[in-house]
Structure 1
Amino acid sequence: MENNTDKQNHKHFSIYKPYGYLSQFINNGQKQNSKKLLGELYDFPEGIMAIGRLDEKSEGLLLLTTDGKTSNHICSGKVEKEYYAQVNGDITIDAIELLRKGVEIGFEGKKYITTPCKASKLATTPKFPERPKKIRDDRHGPTSWISITLQEGKFRQVRKMTSAVGFPTLRLVRVRVGTINLDAMEAGEVKELYTL
Structure 2
Amino acid sequence: MAQLILLNKPFHTLSQFSDDRGRRTLREFVPVAGVYPAGRLDWDSEGLLLLTDDGALQARISDPRFHLPKTYLVQVEGTPGEQELQKLRQGITLKDGDCRPAKAARIDAPDLWPRHPPVRTRKTVADSWLKLTIDEGRNRQVRRMTAAIGHPTLRLVRWQIGDWDLTGLAPGEWRSMAVHAPKAPAARQRRPRHPAHGPRPRTSGRR
Normalised by the shorter chain, which TM-score bucket? Answer: 0.7 to 0.9
Corresponding residue number in structure 2 for 1:52 = 39
1:16-165 equivalent positions in 2, closer than 5 A: 16-27=8-19, 30=20, 33-45=21-33, 47-77=34-64, 78-106=67-95, 111-122=96-107, 124-137=108-121, 139-165=123-149
Distance 1:136 1:58 in 2: 14
Q: Which amino acid aligns with 1:132?
A: H
Distance 2:46 2:124 in 1: 23
**Identity of matched residues, %:** 35
Distance 1:137 1:128 in 2: 17
Deviation at 1:137, TM superposition (A): 4.3
Deviation at 1:103, TM superposition (A): 1.4
Distance 1:11 1:54 in 2: 20
Deviation at 1:190, TM superposition (A): 1.0
RMSD: 1.4
Deviation at 1:146, TM superposition (A): 0.5
Deviation at 1:42, TM superposition (A): 2.5
Distance 1:53 1:153 in 2: 9
Q: TM-score, normalised by structure 2?
A: 0.82
Distance 1:174 1:120 in 2: 15
Query: Unmatched 5+ residue regions in structure 1?
Result: 1-6
Distance 2:12 2:128 in 1: 22
Distance 1:119 1:113 in 2: 16
* Number of positions where the alignment pairs a residue of Structure 1 with one of Structure 2: 178
Q: TM-score, normalised by structure 1?
A: 0.86
Q: Which amino acid aligns with 2:152?
A: P
Query: Unmatched 5+ residue regions in structure 2?
Result: 181-207
Distance 1:42 1:98 in 2: 39
